Amino acid sequence: MLELPRHIFDFNLALAERLAEGIEENELDLQPIANVNPPRWILGHLAIGADFIPQQLGQSGILEESWLKNFGPGSTAGQYSHEVPDKPELLQTLNRCHANAVKALDAVEGPELARVRSGEMLEDAFPTAGTMIAHLMTSHYAFHLGQLSAWRRMTGRTPLF
């Protein structure tokens, strides 16, 4: 069921890595204009999104609570309550969360994807575990990659495409 979103999920990870190329450590929190999400927050938030996938299937995520506080829903870019990861750790963690999500998806069966999400974030738009997972793998990821692409242009970098 998730074969096509899985392909996009893998593509999105590769695109995130390409968009992060050339961004220096001292630029990770740069906001060229007010309220623009900087690279550190975007990459950390994408790791949170990938980590949320196995949780939708009743499995455990791998991130510490500090990641959720710094980069999760409701967090504010640049206002971190815990020590923040450097660029290598951000990218390594994003890859680890991606691999853990893929492992969880490889073990999933249809009924688990059809589980109705009740009382959860975005339940109206994504009423089942499968629809939320597809969103996290595709539209959520792409939305934030668009922010990173825009940030790159605001800082004078050339577009990837």
17-31, 37-51, 97-111: the lowest-pLDDT one: 97-111
* Confidence tier at 109 by pLDDT (50, 70, 90): confident
**Is residue 97 included in any domain, yes or no?**
yes
Beta bridge partners of 116: 128
User: How many domains does the chain fold into?
Assistant: 1
Task: Count CB neighbours of 66 within 10 A.
Answer: 14
**Is residue 82 included in any domain, yes or no?**
no
Alpha helices in 21-138 (DSSP H): 39-56, 65-71, 87-106, 110-113, 129-137
Q: What is the mean pLDDT of the segment spanning 115-135? A: 85
Domain extent for 121: 3-12+37-76+88-154
Mean pLDDT of the chain: 92
Model confidence pLDDT, tens digit, residues 136-158: 999 999 999 999 999 999 999 98
**Is residue 25 included in any domain, yes or no?**
no
